[in-house]
Structure 1
């Protein structure tokens, strides 16, 4: 609950994506003042990068209850709950109308990238009167202008899209990786290879790294470009079973179709697979030479462009002056970490959780959404919606509502790699063969 000393300041929500706007909707319904700080120039700005991608989760799992109530009161009509939206459709049909509602619009500030969160006048070593001191959030615009904002509470829904995992071994950048990115030899995650980024890959030698469904969809799209595009698929694992799934016998029809198509392309030789392939460094100017170690020794593969699909991690430097309690493995809130560890859990097996599980020693500070899952690729939007509902209830002093956590997830939710941490399960009734559908 907000303290009297800080309640004169708004609750600051970092990020105007699906979970950030959901938090704003719940705070609005609770009558709590809030301010949403968004680094981009529009709601769901990061989604524009992967908007061509079709989600595996139908609309029924992508709409927050409070947001829907506000929208429908304004005359909005919900999309078909069984349809699978693309990222662009998610923005255009849901997030943009939500951000434009009078209850939210005046409290959203764009071009306001958060660079640091602390307590006003004190660093993390100071304890006296800490909980009574407002948060200080430092923002920066695209032209470098800085501004400080005071807050009674902070909900960090900034996601992980801007911090993809390195391509090198041991969780580190490979030597030469930064230079290869700067030279355009390594693309951003999930490029639109059939649209916006077609010229970058068509007719080229292309390597895709990663063993999840994001990699699989990119590979399928590349195969549509024709035989002049030479495709190499490099994975660290020795076994591709998790990607192929069980074909027609798979519980998730969309995932089964995805795996079956990919297996056919590999078996036919259209896609060349390099397993147990660990990248050690990059070199080259006119082309990209990928140096790696394999069970057979060192290997070099020369390509024109590399597409990374190896997951994401949370950006925590901006929170370095806060007292956080994070799981040492997945970098999620400590109580949440064991519940989402991908070695033991899939999307559908994660227990519902709310404010108590997400709390840190830093009172009234919360990490939610994709970022709350740290490095675990098992997040569903529906999970984030319930997180912020519980937090808003707690901040409003409604302990019973905060603790009454309920969440119905798809029983068949299975995750491998994802859209910045997001994992979505497809409806069985929908065939998305050939669509770019992230896990």
Structure 2
């Protein structure tokens, strides 16, 4: 990588003495060598990047993304997944075990870790809670953590047995492991197509009630309290979940949670056109739920925003709504969705940079002289279009494919590598 000078960008790094200031940043041999109001290039070998009107911060970190490797590489492999991540501003991604085979032993964890070595984006596998994600027998959690697993979840298979979830929480507590709950009671949610409410009734489709989520949130909060253990909830989507977690935090429970970016901007009214790209899990909810989610973020109940990036081949999406697979692309659209939801640059850094890393105990990249450069440069106002030219994923299942978006990542730097997004 050439020596780089990012000029006239607004630095947003909470706690940094230059936080909020317009600065120049000089990067030499992959490390930050100088931060100052004005840096004059000393030679022609420096690659100058115009940061005027743009934000520079530490790279984004995603707590919930799905790649297909191992076994489902036709959806997404590590190379294309990390390319999409970099284009979305991410320098770190936690990948879920929704693979075939699942990431349920040391072998799969090691495969993901080794396959991602040398990449500009750090890839952290999330191991399963149960063997084969079947919800019957506890997987070798500690063994997977030693191999590089960052946390444990059964992905989009919620753990239905309370006893198994309780054992996982207690066991992980012994080595400071993090158990992630995808809150869904299948006995209540089974057979759903969308959110249960006026719109599902109008469309004549089976609906998943908010109760399916809040029941599981409530159960797992009780289990975490009983075992005095830490727990993280991913992709919460209802007002009831926000309220339950808010009360649990006030009570002193060691609980964190995140929300998918698309659940902050879209409601179940989008389903009226039967576009399968709006079929996600948890489903798009109501305006009341979105209001509660946004308030939960601003009040600190919700800790992070995730992409919930879930690529699918065209044959799984270009079908009737009721048989289409759930999930959409998210890595390249999380920033535009947060801007659409009304968040400013400080909020975006909080929910995509700082707090996601705090949840999993990763150090927040510093902007000290001599430290390795791990950063993103993004524009809050630049408009662009997600299409076949700009999309870095193998898949195209996004409801905003072919639409103009506001908020664009321009540059990502990490591990001595540079990606400029045109």
Q: TM-score, normalised by structure 1?
A: 0.28
Structure number having the greater strand percentage: 2
Bigger Rg, structure 1 or 2? 1
